Amino acid sequence: MIVSRAWRGKRFAVLGLARSGAATVRALVAAGAQVTAWDSKAEARNAFSPSLRLRGEGRGEGDSATGDALGGQAPLPTLSPEGERAISLVDPLEIDLSGFAGVVVSPGVPLNTHPIAAKTRDAGVPVIGDIELFAQARGELPAHKVVGITGTNGKSTTTALIHHILETAGIPARLGGNIGLPILGQEPLPEGGVYVLELSSYQIDLTQSLDCEVAVLLNITPDHLDRYDGFDAYAASKARLFDMQSNGHAAIIGIADEASQGVAKRLARSGRAEDVTRIAPGGCMDQSRWPALQGPHNAQNALAAIAACAALGVDQARIDRGLESFPGLPHRMERVATKNGVLFVNDSKATNAESVAPALAAYPRIHWIAGGKAKTADLDACRPGFPHIVRAYTIGEATEMFADILKHDMPVERSGTLAEAVRAAAANAVAGEVVLLSPACASFDQFRDYEDRGDQFRAAVEALA
C-alpha cells in the first residue's frame, strides 16, 4: 500500500468506510497514525475485523473474524508499541477535533449540506480525500509521474485508455481515483511508473496539492448541481486540477464547450500558453482501426489520450498499438459478440438519455433496446440519433412509455424483458447492423444494478443459436 512517514503519530478521522475509506484507514494505520473511523451505515462499521479490538464497539453478530472487512483485504495491524488500539469507531461529529491532522471524507459526502463541514471549519481542521493523502505521500515514492483526468463525460474511458496505452508500451502504470482499486491500497510503482487517476469534481474538491505532470479536462456540462452553487462553481471545481499544477506541466483541454474553452483561455493568459494542448475533434477522423472507440465522443477521448501519452514521451507507433487493442470498458459500448454479421453492443452503463446519445451516433443501423426504471419522461437528448435506428425494443417499467414516445419515429416492439428483446432484435437484424443495449434508464426494476443488466445481456447473446 501507499503510505507516508509524515502521518506517523498524527490523528485523522475517516468519514465513509466504502472501498476508498477502508483503504485510507489501512494506509493511515500502517503509517502509524491514530484513526477515528465512522460510517453512518451499521453494516459498513461492522465490516471491520474484530481482530482489531476496536475501541467504541464490541463484537456483534455481524462481525467477521476473517479479512473480508476493508474491501476483502487482510485485517489491519495494531501498530502502537504501547499496545493501544490504533482505531476507534466514533462519529467525528460527536468528538472534539482539535489537534486532528485532517478529516478524510468519502467523495460521496455532500460538503455543502453535511454538518462535518462546519464542524471542521470551527476546529480549524482540513477536510481532505484519499487523493490528497496520495499527493502527500508522493515524495516518498520511487520517481514517477501522475496523469489526472476529469470532465463531466468520458473520464472512465479516457483514463482506462491512457492506462492501456502505457501498459501496452511497457511502461509500469496504476489505475485509480474514481475507477478501479483505491489508489492508497495499491502497491507503489517502480521508478519510471505512471499513476493514471480519474478524478471527479468531488475528489478535486478534497485535494489541495496534487501536481499532475499531465492534467486532462475533457468537457464541462451541467451535472451535480445539487452539490454546487450553480454551474460556474461546478466548472471552477474542475478547473482546480490545473490550479494545482506547476508551470511546465501539460494541460490538455477539450474545447467543444464554452466552459472548457474558458479554462483553456484563462490558463493561456496566466502565462501557461505553452503548457496547453486544445482538443477539438471534428472533420474526418479515421476511427476504423479502433473497434472499441467508435462515435464522436470517443474521438475526443482518443485525442485526449493520444495527447496525454505523447506528453509522457510515448511514441506514436506504441500509441497506435494501444488504440487498436483497447478492449473498452465493461458495460460501456462494450462489443459483446458478432453473430451472423450482427454486432451486439452492451451499453448498460447508459442510464439516462444524455449518455445514450453518443452510442446512437456511433453506428448507422441500430436495433435499440431501451427501457427500465425511467429517470425522466422524455428521450429528447436521443433524438439526433433516431435516423440511425432500424427498430426499437422497449423493456421494463418504461416499456409502454418509451413505446409511446418512439412509435411516431420508428418501428417499436414492446418486448417487456431483456431476454425477449435480444431474441427479437437478433431475429430482425441483418449483417452489418448493430443490436445495442443502451437503456436510458436505471436498472432496478428488473436487475440488481446496471452491471447485472449488462451481464444478463451478454448471457442472452451467448444463448442465441
Percent helix, strand, coil in the chain (nearest 5)?
A: 40, 20, 40
pLDDT tops 50 at residue 188: yes
Considering the candidates 224, 340, 375, 407, report the single residue annotated as catalytic. Answer: 224
Q: Is 164 a catalytic residue?
A: no
C-alpha cell at 245: 499544477
Which tens digits make up the pLDDT trace of 258-295? 999 999 999 999 999 999 999 987 656 788 899 888 88
Mean pLDDT of 109-135: 96
Say which residue, 419 or 85, is predicted with more confidence. Answer: 419
φ, ψ for residue 412 (rounded to 5)? Answer: -130, 135
pLDDT tops 70 at residue 208: yes
Say which residue, 41 or 430, is predicted with more confidence. Answer: 430
Domain ranges of the chain: 5-128, 133-325, 334-462
Give me the chain's average pLDDT, please. 90
Mean pLDDT of 76-81: 40
- pLDDT of 431: 98
Mean pLDDT of 396-404: 98
CB atoms within 10 A of CB 390: 18
pLDDT tops 50 at residue 64: no
Contact status, residue 124 vs residue 32, Cβ threshold 8 Å: no
Q: Among 17-26, 113-122, 305-314, which stretch is predicted with the lowest mean pLDDT?
A: 17-26
pLDDT tops 70 at residue 65: no
Cα 155 to Cα 151, 173, 216, 345, 415: the distances in Å are 6, 17, 9, 20, 33
pLDDT tops 50 at residue 74: no
Considering the candidates 119, 144, 155, 388, report the single residue annotated as catalytic. Answer: 155
Q: What is the CATH number of domain 334-462?
A: 3.90.190.20
Say which residue, 317 or 73, is predicted with more confidence. Answer: 317
Distance in angstroms (rounded) separating the CA atoms of residues 219 and 155: 9
Mean pLDDT of 13-31: 93
- pLDDT of 242: 98
Distance in angstroms (rounded) separating the CA atoms of residues 3 and 7: 8
DSSP label of 387: G
C-alpha cell at 338: 458478432
Place of cell 479515421: 286
E strands of 61-205, at which residues? Answer: 87-89, 102-105, 127-128, 144-150, 173-177, 193-198
- pLDDT of 288: 86
Which tens digits make up the pLDDT trace of 222-261? 877 888 999 999 999 999 999 999 999 999 999 999 999 9
pLDDT tops 50 at residue 309: yes
> Which residue from 71, 49, 70 is spatially nearest to 60, judged by alpha carbons?
49
The reply to whether the predicted model has a pTM over 0.85 is: no
Mean pLDDT of 415-443: 97
- pLDDT of 108: 85
> Which residue from 37, 44, 43 is spatially nearest to 14, judged by alpha carbons?
37
**Helix and strand numbers, DSSP H then E, in the chain:** 15, 19
5-128 classified as CATH 3.50.50.60: no
Considering the candidates 178, 298, 301, 346, report the single residue annotated as catalytic. Answer: 178
Q: Which top CATH class is 133-325?
A: alpha beta
- pLDDT of 368: 98
Cα 438 to Cα 72, 441, 464: the distances in Å are 32, 8, 19
pLDDT band for position 429 (50/70/90)? Answer: very high
- pLDDT of 225: 82
pLDDT tops 60 at residue 61: no
The three-state DSSP-derived secondary structure of 394-448 is EEHHHHHHHHHHHCCCCCEEEEECHHHHHHHHHHHCCCCCEEEECCCEECCCCCC
pLDDT band for position 47 (50/70/90)? Answer: confident
Chain-centre distance for alpha carbon 19: 13
Mean pLDDT of 136-154: 96
Q: Is 265 a catalytic residue?
A: no
Which tens digits make up the pLDDT trace of 330-388? 999 999 999 999 999 999 999 989 889 999 999 999 999 999 999 889 999 999 999 99
The residues with which 34 forms a beta bridge, in sequence order, are: 11
As a whole number of angstroms, the longest Cα–Cα distance in the chain is 75
- pLDDT of 291: 85
- pLDDT of 282: 64
Contact status, residue 112 vs residue 119, Cβ threshold 8 Å: no
Distance in angstroms (rounded) separating the CA atoms of residues 66 and 63: 9
- pLDDT of 284: 62
pLDDT tops 90 at residue 73: no
Distance in angstroms (rounded) separating the CA atoms of residues 163 and 311: 14
φ, ψ for residue 215 (rounded to 5)? Answer: -115, 135
Q: Is 155 a catalytic residue?
A: yes
Looking at the chain, the whole-number percentage of residues with pLDDT higher than 70 is 91
Distance in angstroms (rounded) separating the CA atoms of residues 448 and 50: 30
Residue 441, judged by CB atoms within 10 A of its CB (0-12, 13-18, 19+), counts as: buried
Side chain identity, residue 439:
P
Q: Among 74-78, 102-106, 453-457, which stretch is predicted with the lowest mean pLDDT?
A: 74-78
C-alpha cell at 449: 444494478
> Which residue from 36, 32, 31 is spatially nearest to 12, judged by alpha carbons?
36
DSSP label of 77: P
